[in-house]
A and B are shown apart, each in its own frame.
Chain A
Amino acid sequence: MTRRSRSATSPPWPVALPAVLALAFLTLPVIGLLVRTPWGHLLDILTSKTSLDALRLSLETSIAATIIAFLVGVPLAWLLARSEFVGRRLARALVTVPLVLPPVVGGIALLLAFGRRGLVGQYLDSCCGITLPFTTPGVVVAETFVAMPFLIITVEGALRGLDSKLEDAAATLGAGRWTIFRRVTLPLIGPSLIAGAVLTFARALGEFGATITFAGNLPGVTQTLPLAVYVGLEGDLDQAVALSLILLLVSIAVLVGLRDRWLRTGSAS
């Protein structure tokens, strides 16, 4: 019995060998990071001004980006999932563009739109004196651009999967569309809202290409964690490794949290 089941499940070597190689390839860099981490003076590095500035800036901008994405992304997800309008398919395709666009290209696109001479930026500048490039709000703009599609796609999927029966029931009880959305729809897709927000936050936290292109790399103003890691690589490797460790921990926390709590119950029944 044992022999039979073992031979039935053990893979042939042309499968096993590449599989082991792939696993090693994916895990070794992480192990390398852990091995090379300057555990002895980790605390000193992380409490240095450069580190703290980058950490604070990253948290602030990522949270701001997540909130903005939430406020405008959820309504867009509802529109894409629930209403009929001309160009809906096109709109949905456009939403996914930032997902596949190289972030550097996204940064250039943002510059052309919101830069001081940009499509919209020139008016922001002339009418309200608002300048986005190379400012902290610029970092938020870059992160929102890249990360919001995660929220929209997650929430739209949940809305599509949601059975409209409960919303119909609410309507027969006299609830208008806004009441139904607020008191029935949103609570029912709660788990997906959280999952989408967490994914958005994680993506915003790791944002590099669009940020450095659109917002630059000014310590304390636009230098987020990933940018500080990049700069550290040129000068202080220990700092780069220590900050990388932080980003790694956040990623693992997101993965574990999503798998155990939210992804499985993605659309509540």
Chain B
Amino acid sequence: MTDDSTQGIHATIGIDRGEFTLDMSLTVAPGEVVAVLGPNGAGKSTLLRGLVGLTPIDRGSIRLDDVVVDDPDADVLIEPAKRRIGVVFQEYRLFPHLTVEDNVAFGLRSAGFGKQAAQVASQEWIDRLELAALRARKPGELSGGQAQRVALARALATKPRALLLDEPLSALDIATRQDVRTHLSGHLRQFAGPTVLVTHDPLDALVLADRVVVLEGGRVTQEGTTHEVAQRPSTPYVASVMGLNLLRGKALAGIVQLDDGGELQAPDASTVGPVLVAIRPAAISLHAHRPEGSARNVWQGVVDNIQPVGDRVRVSVSASPSVVVDVTRSAVVELGLVRDTSVWLSTKATELEVYAG
């Protein structure tokens, strides 16, 4: 780990699968956790199969530390078994006929360790992931969270050069997900190699990753620290999963003319030209009558849809601009909100994030 530029994952990946093509670059430093975030069908699984070696890439190259594992131009293709990439699969893929202990020891057995030696060597991971009490169980007798820990122990026991996690929390029910996510975060911090986390859940990315790569339609649409991406989403997908309104327009002298109609007052006049405007749904207020007060941005619209989200209610309003607004349940009653109710919207200029896009 002396020279970071040669260590970690350096990949340029092009894969054709019929109509769909994946073309992207990915660099992950040792000790770094990168989340690849994208909707279904974005190419996340294809990327993962390419990295692991289950699908040979058609263009580009994949380098893991100082070893090229796939490079079609140079006719290099190292098979999955020899890449030493630990994978935690979606649904975990534990071997149903083997006990927890034998699942964890599987990689070591495959590496040529005898049964005894493999069990001794896997003991460390059994202990670290608190699996000692479950060692004799079969995967069918485990809860989702336990199965996930077994999958992680099984991957880490092979001492992999890199770790890949494919939707590691999607198989869990919501009640246990938060807890497991926190645990997982701790284990990922301890792993010294590069980690790639493939997910469609922005919360996974926010909690577990240092950096986010957003993948849509086989292309990277945004890349940055989780904070940057959450604050300044550059596509409607990122905005919607991160719970933001994202509007496109042109800024001039502190006023943004929106491409889809309407205009908004920016917090300042510093940004000029094509911009993106991000507004948190909770930063917009709804009113029955034209509001008095300090809010600089006031416009009128019609309620399109009402959706309870936790203890809040997300209201979509058709207007110029159309936005989603988070309000309290009592506000819905007070304002008598139903579909097609006419409402006024307001938001302070200071609530707007305006940035060049």
Contact = CB atoms under 8 A, between A and B. Distances in A.
Nearest to B93: A169
B56 to A, nearest CB: 13
A168 B95 contact: no
Nearest to A190: B97
Contacts of B81: 171-176
Interface string B159-194: 000000000000000000000000000000000000
A174 B87 CA distance: 11
B184 to A, nearest CB: 18
Nearest to B87: A172
Given A169-B93, A188-B97, A174 B52 contact: no
Given A165-B89, A168-B54, A168-B80, A174 B97 contact: no
Nearest to A172: B87
Interface residues of A, number: 19
A174 B158 contact: yes
B99 to A, nearest CB: 13
Size class of the B contact interface (CB-based, 8 Å): 20 to 34
B154 A173 contact: yes
A269 to B, nearest CB: 8
A47 interface: no
Q: What DSSP secondary structure best describes chain A's contact surface?
A: helix
B355 to A, nearest CB: 40
Nearest to B96: A268
A263 interface: no
B87 A175 contact: no
Given A166-B95, A168-B80, A175 B106 contact: yes
Contacts of B83: 172
A184 interface: yes
A129 interface: no
A170 interface: yes
A169 B89 contact: yes
Interface in B258-283: none
B89 A174 contact: no
A183 B98 CA distance: 9
B96 A171 contact: no
A108 to B, nearest CB: 44
A210 to B, nearest CB: 37
Contacts of A166: 93, 95-96
Contact of A170 (B79, B86, B110): B110
Interface string B80-116: 1111111101000101110000000011011100000
Interface string A156-195: 0000000001101111111110010001100110100000
Contacts of A171: 53-54, 79-81
Nearest to B106: A173
B93 A174 contact: no
B97 A187 contact: yes
Nearest to B112: A174
Interface string B109-132: 111000000000000000000000
A119 B54 CA distance: 45
Contacts of A188: 96-97
Nearest to B79: A171
B118 to A, nearest CB: 12
B55 to A, nearest CB: 10
A174 B54 contact: no
Given A172-B80, A188-B97, A179 B110 contact: yes
Contacts of B110: 170, 173-176, 179, 183
The 7 A-B pairs at the shortest CB distance, nearest first, are namely A173-B107, A175-B110, A169-B93, A171-B80, A187-B97, A174-B110, A172-B87
Interface of A: 165-166, 168-176, 179, 183-184, 187-188, 190, 268-269
29 contacts: A166-B95, A168-B54, A169-B87, A169-B93, A169-B95, A170-B95, A170-B110, A171-B54, A171-B81, A172-B52, A172-B80, A172-B81, A172-B83, A172-B155, A173-B106, A173-B107, A173-B110, A173-B155, A174-B107, A174-B110, A174-B158, A175-B110, A176-B110, A183-B106, A187-B97, A188-B96, A188-B97, A190-B97, A268-B96
Given A183-B109, A187-B95, 13 more contacts: A166-B96, A169-B89, A171-B54, A172-B83, A172-B85, A173-B107, A173-B155, A173-B158, A174-B82, A175-B81, A175-B107, A179-B109, A188-B97
